[in-house]
Structure 1
Amino acid sequence: MGFSAVNTGNNLLFLMVSGLLAFMSVTGYVGMRNIKGLTPEVLPPAELFAGTAATFCLRLHNNKRHVTSFLIRLECPGGQGVTFPLIGCGASAEGKVALTFADRGHAAIDRITVSSPFPVNFFTRYWTFAADNRFVVFPHLLAGMTVGNDGETERQGNSIRQGRGQDGELERIAAYSGSEPLRMIHWKLSARSEDLQVKEFGSQAVPPLIIDLDGLPGRDLEQRISRAAWLVRRWVGLRPVGLRWGGRIIPAGTGRRHGMKLLTELALYGRD
């Protein structure tokens, strides 16, 4: 059209070309302004296992003070992403995506792409941000039999009954029956009520489970690691669990933090 306007000297063609160029310039500026001033963020889940889809949170913050962003797509490597129809000035938006990592060990999301077809859906403009989201992928969980270190075998699905004791974790607050020692009385709660309240603890009489990585069944190391990870996830909240491999041992313990430590050790075994 531009060549035609020059060759023919037609003023109407000149006007049309000028209008189209002005339209492209304005929409290009508006489109780039639409995706500028945005800060993306990736929040990984607390637990991430190899071969299992995990939900990541994608968060996008609009740092612009007076401009709203429209039709913004936030995308991770691999094509998974979310689209936000509108993000107001100074506002944030969140979306969920399911990502799967095939192998255990260290993993990272090194870039995030922000794109938008706004305002006329003729061009899609994008902006790639460098990211430093590093996390640990735990081993794939492979269910199996629980073998105690005292020769006792527990079938999967069975639970261990923990009796009342004085050396375990706090389980509940109950009314004072007269048989509990005075040191078990919860004085603060008793002061707020008419009756004495006592603290009831679980018993640590359950024998610890020491997982011997080299002695677990499996056709290779990866399968044994997967079985060990399942054992940790299954029992660490119910009984003390430890880990042994080669000449190293991690003493038995309970609780979520201890379980994360054991799973991290398994995830990084042979990958450092």
Structure 2
Amino acid sequence: MPRRARSATAALPAARQAPSSPGFADRPRWARLARLVRPRRTIRPTREGWWLLLAAVGLGFAAMNTGNNLLYLLVSMLLGLIVVSGLLSERSMRGLTITLQTPEEIFADRPALFGATVVNRKPWAASYSVTLEILRPAGVPRLVYVPRLAPGQEHVFGWEETLPRRGRQRLPGIRITTLFPFGLFLKAGRVVQQAEVIVYPAAGPIPAVLLAEMGAGAAAARRRGRGSDLYNLREYRWGDDPRLIHWRSTAKVGALMVRELEAEATMDTRIVLEGAGARLEAGLSLAASLVTHLIRAGAAVELAAPGVWIPFGAGRPHERRLLTALALYEPAPPGSEGSPPRSAGVPLREIRVALA
């Protein structure tokens, strides 16, 4: 009985190691092939590194032809220098992580401030002579040099980038490189932090003619807010500011009454996009300028276009919703255009922006 139990137990690991699918055994092979095609690091000799390699090859041929032990010793020293350089550079790059910080608002053709943090996650070893390459869509990458990064230390850096067009865009990313320790080989890691950002249309000053038309429009829509004029009287609710209690109405009604204030005089506006043509980008830029001007002046804004409708609202979150819709706007195909909906019961001034 004990022998049978041992034999059954011994056969159990073999049964567990059986592949669960026909391609299971090929996975390590494909993984190795993927690492060869896209390695973790790339190594490129510098000018001094090429001279070292040529010297090692030349001395190697000379040692094989002459059998001179001194030449063999020199070749061994040069090859050992290459191995030590690779080990120390790998130790310097390992354990480094990069975190990217992107601005909340990115407008086309306007410099935006980006930031990143590189952290040394190694518990005991420092990283030396690290260069961070900030890749750019066009042009030479920006370089940030970090001479030493202690264990657990972080380095924060920032840069300005101007993105030329609106829409959803992917940043080129950041790459870690090093020439440590001897400057013979440039070792580079994979490109990381290729974040996707939304670029708003270019916003600029509103033309003076349009500003004059906006100032001469209809009367401002009344709504609750934090202004100074009286909007309404109502009963007191828990959480209301005691300073807003209207004592005369309280004495007359016999219950606590508070004042509701009216928002500062603003012009609630409905922006309508019309057509699609050569003036598409200029029209979207004008619409973005109107959105930023009106929202930051305290107005409520509604956006309407074929296939796009954002009900009226106010505040910075609503501003970002409007600008995102403008950044991702694509004209509707011909024949599919219809009249966009409209907020019912809300008096809105209407500004039409031609895109054709």
CA shift digits 1:39-81 (9 cap, x unpaired): 1222211111112221211221211111111221222332234
2:306, 2:331 within 8 Å by CA — same for their partners in 1?
A: no
Tell me which of 290, 294, 317 is aligned to 1:231: 290
- Give the corresponding residue for 1:98: 160
Select the structure that is richer in helix: 2
Is 1:47 the counterpart of 2:47? The answer is: no
Shift of 1:28: 1.3
Instruction: Give the drift of 1:14.
Output: 2.3
**Residues 174 and 194, structure 2, Cα contact 8 Å, conserved in 1:** no
TM-score normalised to structure 1 length: 0.76
| Counterpart residue type for residue 134 of structure 1 | E
How far apart, CA to CA, are the structure 2 residues paired with 1:43 and 1:271?
A: 32
- Contact kept in structure 1, 2:109 and 2:164, CA below 8 Å: yes
Measure the CA separation in 1 of the matches of 2:179 and 2:262. Answer: 59
- 1:19 corresponds to which residue? 77
Supply the distance in 2 between the matched residues of 1:87 and 1:234 (Cα, whole angstroms): 45
2-structure distance, mates of 1:42, 1:53 = 17
Residue matched to 1:185: 242
Find 2:315's aligned residue among 235, 255, 258: 255
What is the count of residue pairs matched by the alignment?
A: 241
Mean Cα displacement is larger for which, 134-143 or 221-230? 134-143
Structure 2 runs not aligned, ≥5 long: 1-58, 229-234, 245-257, 333-356
Residue matched to 2:198: 136
SS of 1:94's partner is strand
Q: 1:258 to 1:6 in 2, by over 3 A?
A: same
Please state how far the C-alpha of 1:202 moved relative to its aligned partner.
Answer: 6.2
Where is the strand percentage greater, Structure 1 or Structure 2? 1
Partner residue, 2:39: none
Following TM superposition, by how much is the alpha carbon of 1:152 offset from its aligned partner in structure 2, in angstroms? Answer: 4.0
Whether 2:229 is the aligned partner of 1:168: answer: no
Q: Distance in 1 between matches of 2:120 and 2:331?
A: 39
Q: Is the 8 A contact 1:80 1:99 kept in 2?
A: no
Q: CA RMSD in A?
A: 3.3
SS of alignment partner, residue 47 of structure 1: coil
The gaps in structure 1 that reach 5 residues or longer are 156-161, 172-180, 188-197
Q: What is the CA–CA distance in structure 1 between the aligned matches of 2:125 and 2:262, rounded to whole Å?
A: 57
Which segment is superposed worse, 259-268 or 86-95? 86-95
Give 2:214's aligned residue.
Answer: 153
Indicate conservation of the 8 Å contact 2:115/2:156, yes or no: yes
What fraction of aligned residue pairs are identical, expressed as a percent? Answer: 32
Quick one: distance in 1 between partners of 2:130 and 2:143?
A: 10
Rounded to whole Å, the distance in 2 between the matches of 1:61 and 1:107 is: 26
1:96–1:131 CA distance, 2 compared to 1 (3 A): closer
> How far is 1:124 from its partner?
0.9
Q: CA deviation at 1:128?
A: 0.6
The amino acid that maps onto 1:210 is: R
